[in-house]
Amino acid sequence: MFIHEIRQMMFKDRKEAGILLGICLKKFRHLEPVIMAVPRGGVPVAYEVAKVLKAPMDVIFTKKIGHPNNREYAVGVVSSKGFSFDPVISGVPQQYLVEEVSRLQKLVKEKEMAYHKEVKAQDIKKRWVILIDDGVATGNTIIAAANLLAQQHPAGIIVALPVGPDESIRKLNGHPVINEVVCVETPEYFEGVGQFYEDFDPVEDSEAIALLKDADTYRNSK
């Protein structure tokens, strides 16, 4: 595994971050990867990467499973196709976990249906996946997404990010299901992802859905 870095910078917006990230990822074009975005902030970044690599694009939605006594404390995570639990958790009733997985997967599937009304979901089995967000702080969201993608048996997972603190990037780099990490910027002083964007406005569902649809149209027109 390797970590790739370029000089420190401030991104104009997610589009510029995606273009720069796409340049870093050109060497993976021969893998014919699927670009997988973490919604919603990761979608504009992934869109630009998909254009550079002429690759199919999709999204992975996740929801955390909160502890029954404190919903803010995550004991696991679900996607539409799988789930994983924190191996150190104890004392959480099995019935609660079963019911929460069922409830949360229903919510995730409803969200995915909205995104896939006009764009077919990608099958990643035996395919390389490039997992993208607009940046990381702790890296926990990306790790959860990578763990869930790994359950679908891809050929490999590359995590690609515009920015993240060195400690978190190294944590990702050492994670067993992640084959490689590509990060444009690992600043010495990091307070949050937004500080490295001039424009860091929230991405609406309507915008993300439009980009997913446009990425599919763009690839099929080439």
Share of the chain above pLDDT 70, in %: 95
Residue 6 pLDDT class (50, 70, 90 cuts): very low
pLDDT at position 164 is: 96
Structure tokens at 109: 């599937």
Residues 162-190: what's their mean pLDDT? 96
Q: Are residues 195 and 106 in the same domain?
A: no
pLDDT digits (tens, 9 = 90+) for 107-165: 999 999 999 998 999 999 999 999 999 999 999 899 999 999 999 999 999 999 999 99
Residue whose tokens read 């796409």: 22
Does residue 3 carry a pLDDT above 70? no
Q: β-strands 128-132, 34-37: how paired?
A: parallel
In sequence order, the 6+-apart residues with CB closer than 8 A to the CB of 145 are 36, 38, 60, 62, 79, 131
Per-residue model confidence (pLDDT) at position 8:
55
129: closest CA among 221, 183, 218, 56?
A: 56
The confidence band for 97, taking pLDDT boundaries of 50, 70 and 90, is very high
In the DSSP assignment, the letter for residue 194 is G
* Shared-domain flag, residues 123 and 203: yes
Domain count, the chain: 2
Q: Which residue did the predictor score with more confidence, 86 or 130?
A: 130
The two three-digit tokens of residue 18, written as one number? 């995606």
Q: Tell me what pLDDT residue 74 has.
A: 84
Range of the domain at 90: 63-115
Residues 45, 125, single domain; the answer is: yes
Report if pTM > 0.85. Answer: yes
Are 136 and 215 part of one and the same domain? Answer: yes
* H or E segment to which residue 3 belongs: strand 3-4
Q: Are residues 147 and 48 in the same domain?
A: yes
In this structure, what token pair is assigned to residue 112? 């995915």
Which of 115, 149, 179 lies at the terminal end of a domain, its last residue?
115
pLDDT confidence of residue 219: 72
Question: Rounded mean pLDDT of the chain?
Answer: 92
Is 194 in the same domain as 138?
yes
What b/e sequence results for 152-186 when a residue is b if at least 16 CB atoms lie within 10 Å of its CB, and e otherwise? bebebbbbbbbbbbeebbebbbebeebbbbbbbbb
Q: Which of 74, 93, 115 is the last residue of a domain?
A: 115
Percent of the chain with pLDDT over 90: 79
Residue 118's pLDDT is what?
87
- 24-32 average pLDDT score: 98
- Helix (H) or strand (E) holding 36, with range, is strand 34-37
The pLDDT score that the predictor gives to residue 7 is: 47
CATH number of the domain at 182, please.
3.40.50.2020
Answer whether residue 168 shows pLDDT above 80. Answer: yes
Instruction: Let me know whether 8 and 20 are in one domain.
Output: yes
Inform me whether the pLDDT recorded for 36 exceeds 50: yes
Same domain for 20 and 110, yes or no, is: no
What was the pLDDT predicted at 89? Answer: 73
